Amino acid sequence: MQTPALRSPLAKRIQDFINLRRLSGTDYRAQTRLLGYFDRFLVKANRKQSSVTRLITDRYQQSLAHLAPRSRYNRLCVVKQLCEHIARSEPHCYVPEPMRMIPSYEAHCPPIFNESEIQALLSAASALNPSESLRPQTYRMLLGLLYATGIRIGEALALNIESFHSEQKMLSIEAGKFRKDRFVPLHPSTSQALEHYVHRRLQTGPRAPDSPLFINLRFRRLHYCTVNHTFRQLLAACGIPHNRRAGPRIHDLRHTFAVHRLLGWYRDGKDINARLPWLSTYMGHVGVASTQVYLRATAELVEQVDRRFHKHFIDNVKPSGGKS
């Protein structure tokens, strides 16, 4: 990705900072875009000085008032990182205070699909038109894969035919978030469904190993905007309430996977604390803290936690022979 044209008095320092981060092996595309917003703000504000002051960072923060809290947080965090970099060689550079974390009630609260809703979405995908085309199978497989594995939608759309290893029952994710590669083991039923889809897929469109796994009617790789639009149509067909701002979003299938995986472990009596690192690794996270963002206290999950606590109390806390 090419860096957008930088034109502010801080352009050289911003570019040097971006180059430094890229040299460290960091995929800095998203942050580069955010720094571009800051550069354009400086140009629009007719900023002439090449220094960063508290006044300019405060004005920048005020200019972001129309954005969602999480978007404001991300934009200001990357500006803070830039200022910390500049301050190493220019001690008088102002470094803004870290913005407070966004409270959960302000941030998007992902809805968790129940099993009936998942089945309804898969059935609606199977009924998509044109019925004789690959499209219904493509969307059913795509949604099923997102729910069964919790991989990111961008990772799913980037899959090629060669990404599926049927004998090993796994997917290879290349250059995922933070440019991390990983293997994703598949449940036998998921692997079987994907094997059937690949068989049908090879009869339509390009067949080279590096050709896209999920294709549109023009035999090209599916695009996120198209998938997102179709997903909203499927929500409507299933009678699932949808709001462009509040969701549900297709990314919420990843949240649903995490919650349902945790629920399954509770039902099976597994040690949750021991298995959370497994879940983090499987989802491509750098640590458990990133995975915790995906966990929500659904009614089913709370019930399982209550049962486990009650059993622990009976077995280990309540005195033997004591009155209840």
- Give the structural domain span for 276: 253-317
- Structural domains in the chain (count): 3
pLDDT, residue 105, reads: 44
pLDDT, residue 232, reads: 95
Query: Can you tell me whether residue 212 is helix, strand or coil?
Result: strand
pLDDT, residue 178, reads: 58
Same-domain check for residues 143 and 230: yes
Same-domain check for residues 82 and 131: no
Separation of alpha carbons 109 and 104, rounded Å: 7
Tokens (6 digits) for 94: 């102002």
pLDDT, residue 287, reads: 80
Sorted by sequence, the CB contacts under 8 Å of residue 10 that are 6+ apart come out as 39, 42, 47, 50, 52
pLDDT, residue 70, reads: 79
Same-domain check for residues 36 and 162: no
Considering only CA atoms, which of 291, 304, 296, 299 is closest in space to residue 263? 304
pLDDT, residue 101, reads: 53
Same-domain check for residues 190 and 119: yes
Same-domain check for residues 220 and 266: no
Per-residue model confidence as pLDDT tens for the chain (324 residues): 455 689 999 999 999 999 998 887 766 788 899 999 999 999 998 888 888 999 999 999 999 988 888 788 889 999 999 999 999 999 889 998 876 655 544 456 788 999 999 999 999 999 999 999 999 999 999 999 999 999 999 999 999 999 999 999 999 998 666 567 899 999 999 999 999 999 999 999 899 999 999 999 999 999 999 999 999 999 999 999 988 766 799 999 999 999 999 999 988 888 888 889 999 999 998 788 888 888 887 878 878 778 777 776 777 776 655 554
Same-domain check for residues 246 and 121: yes
Domain boundary among 71, 87, 103: 87
